[in-house]
Structure 1
Amino acid sequence: MSTMRIAPRRYVSRRRARRVPLVLGVAGVLVVALAVITWFATTSVTSGPGQAGNTTPAHSTPRADWRAGETPFLYQTDPQWADHPYAGGTIEKNGCGPTCLSMVYVVLTGRGDLDPAAMADFAERGGYAVDGMTAWALMTEGAAGLGLASEELPASPGSVREALLAGSPVICSVGPGDFTTTGHFIVLAGLTEDGEVVVHDPNSAERSGRAWDLERVLGQCLNLWAFSA
């Protein structure tokens, strides 16, 4: 999702260019290499919608408690399906998209036949898994194939509040920010009495365990879909 900008080369005239001893060139390379290694060792990186940076196993809402009208907490890292193949990797690494759609499917239908593993298989069959990521078409064409209606929403608090108050869960594709360093899908499940939004993040029980300022979340959204049965 991110775009790399390559800076133009800087040229100097041959008359003014100085030759640098080889030993200094090698030392410079070693310094840069050490800096890169240190950065990777201290930075949690995610890449692409659907890929996760959190590898701590989380336990989802038990299947026996899945019912219409209640959004379950479903996590990519749940051992029940974490290692299930998806998008060239696993649900744990790539499966936030189908995991979110599985949560929406449960709350709107009350059915338990499409857990994250089954939803991942559905997405694969439909061609919605692309290069380690989940295509946005899963949230429109894919949802329609499941008997769900979806509508793209503007990233405005009024539109989202209206959808949630009408009982329509919302899936957001988010960019770098509180939930990812590259791209991710989350579910907005409802509103608190204080007007904050209830987030079900398929990659974090911690982020799912608190309420969020709606405008803060919307500021990180690339697209949103409201769902109904």
Structure 2
Amino acid sequence: MAEVAPSLLKGAGIALLICLGLPLLMLLSIPCNLFGSLSASSADIQEMTAQAEQLTVTWKDQRSLEDKAINLFVDLLPENLGFISIEKNLGNTNDYWMIAITSVYSEQDVMLIDEDKIVQTMQAKLKYELKAKYDSEGNFEGYVLVISDMTPTELMDKLGFDEMQRMWAEVIQNTIADAEYSAPSGSSDNTAGMDFSDIVFTGRGNSKDVVYFSQYDSRWGSLMYGKTNTIAGAGCGPTSLAICVSTLTNKTVLPPEICDWSVKTGHRCEGSGSYHSLIPDGAAHYGVPCRGIGQSKTELVKALQEGKLVIAIMSAGHFTRGGHFIVLRGITDSGKILVADCASYERSQKEWDLNIFLAECNKGAAASGPFWVLG
């Protein structure tokens, strides 16, 4: 039986290639590029950026296609090989890295993306290992087929990336990803482990009273958000959404609940934080009106003046050294912005200049960000 297994795996592998390759042919006909980096100023690059943002949204669906393909792989195994069990260990290379690596591998040129390269890029990351299985007494029971994917470094090694290609892949990945939270330089607000029960920020002018949650709250900060980090380390997106949902619906929805929903629905990006689509999709799930306004200063000020809440995805600057979701909760008569920053109670007490948000927002945000109006 052990001799038959490799040939069966080869045949099933061909079916897996077909199942993955056909949808990918259409998916990857959209080019990747620098996703809104500061050098993207020409009309051509701006058009490619828009296409790449669409790819960011579409790529999320590839996870379900991949899962269906692997299930097909399992179904193709004959019933008399029932002693071979299947284990899946996917998610070692997140979607942002796959977009970045595919972009660099294809030299950011749609004309270079043919079917062979598409299949190569996706299949290169998958590993298949047939491992012997033994019982507690050391007796052979059969085989376990382990299907896993490589880390970004392993995948780039396999594809033969040189140092320049690795650098560009990292630049693209950092540009489009909501990085796990890291405090900005000079931050002194160490609130880890505190209990922030029943905190409400009082509204001013047209702004609402806003429920406040911290991702570091001792009640949930140490709970896992997905497989690779805690709510304290990576849960700014769900926590910001929990602030808005709890404020706008008058129903308390805590961060762990939204984290669980995010993981189950594919909005958790392991190793990076949350996909930007978490905000509009999560708001819709909880019945909260939400619309992305891009980088529109006019729409941003108007929304805050109307008493709406705004979730912003920020890049390096006053609020983070990487990527970070925060809530803009109001605007003062003098035009200063009030925030509910789930990573800093201290920053949430200050008034901020509007231009800071326009300058430090993630300009390559997907899902119609970097600003989403809720309410």
Query: What's the TM-score bracket when you normalise by the shorter of the two chains?
Result: 0.7 to 0.9
Which residue in the other structure is 2:191 paired with?
Answer: 56
What is the distance in 2 between the residues matched to 1:100 and 1:84? 17
Which residue in the other structure is 1:34 paired with?
Answer: none
User: Which has more helix, going by share of residues?
Assistant: 2
The 8 Å contact of residues 71 and 107 in structure 1, kept in 2 or not, is answered as: yes
Structure 2 portions without partners, runs of 5+: 1-95, 105-162, 166-176, 184-189, 363-369
CA-CA distance at 1:51 after TM superposition = 2.2
Q: Which digits, 9 at most, give the CA deviation of each residue in 1:61-93, with x for residues without a partner?
A: 534869994212211111011011103211000
The 8 Å contact of residues 268 and 275 in structure 2, kept in 1 or not, is answered as: yes
What is the distance in 1 between the residues matched to 2:340 and 2:295? 18
Which residue in the other structure is 1:42 paired with?
Answer: none
Task: Say which structure, 1 or 2, has more relative contact order (CA 8 Å, 6+ apart).
Answer: 1
What is the distance in 2 between the residues matched to 1:185 and 1:209? 17
CA-CA distance at 1:155 after TM superposition = 2.0
Cα distance change of structure 1 residues 160 and 60 upon mapping to structure 2, 3 Å threshold: farther
The yes-or-no answer on 1:226 pairing with 2:355 is: no
Which residue in the other structure is 2:238 paired with?
Answer: 98
Q: CA RMSD in A?
A: 2.8
What is the distance in 1 between the residues matched to 2:224 and 2:251? 23
The yes-or-no answer on 1:208 pairing with 2:348 is: yes
Which residue in the other structure is 2:221 paired with?
Answer: 82
Pairwise mapping of residues 1-229 of structure 1 onto structure 2 (< 5 A)?
49=178, 51-54=180-183, 56-57=191-192, 59=194, 61-63=196-198, 69-88=208-227, 89-112=229-252, 114-132=253-271, 133-222=273-362, 223-228=370-375
Moved more, 65-74 or 146-155: 65-74
The 8 Å contact of residues 49 and 94 in structure 1, kept in 2 or not, is answered as: no
CA-CA distance at 1:59 after TM superposition = 4.5
Task: Kindly provide the amino acid, as one letter, of the partner of residue 62 in structure 1.
Answer: S
The 8 Å contact of residues 67 and 106 in structure 1, kept in 2 or not, is answered as: no
The 8 Å contact of residues 58 and 77 in structure 1, kept in 2 or not, is answered as: yes
Q: Which runs of 4+ in 1 moved over 3 A?
A: 5-8, 58-61, 63-69
The 8 Å contact of residues 98 and 123 in structure 1, kept in 2 or not, is answered as: yes
The 8 Å contact of residues 51 and 183 in structure 1, kept in 2 or not, is answered as: yes
Q: Number of matched residues?
A: 188
Percent identical:
29
What is the distance in 1 between the residues matched to 2:281 and 2:243? 17
The 8 Å contact of residues 81 and 117 in structure 1, kept in 2 or not, is answered as: yes
Structure 1 portions without partners, runs of 5+: 9-47
CA-CA distance at 1:154 after TM superposition = 3.0
Q: What SS class does the counterpart of residue 140 from structure 1 fall into? A: helix
TM (norm. structure 2) is 0.46
Q: What SS class does the counterpart of residue 77 from structure 1 fall into? A: coil
Task: Kindly provide the amino acid, as one letter, of the partner of residue 115 in structure 1.
Answer: L
What is the distance in 1 between the residues matched to 2:179 and 2:256? 14
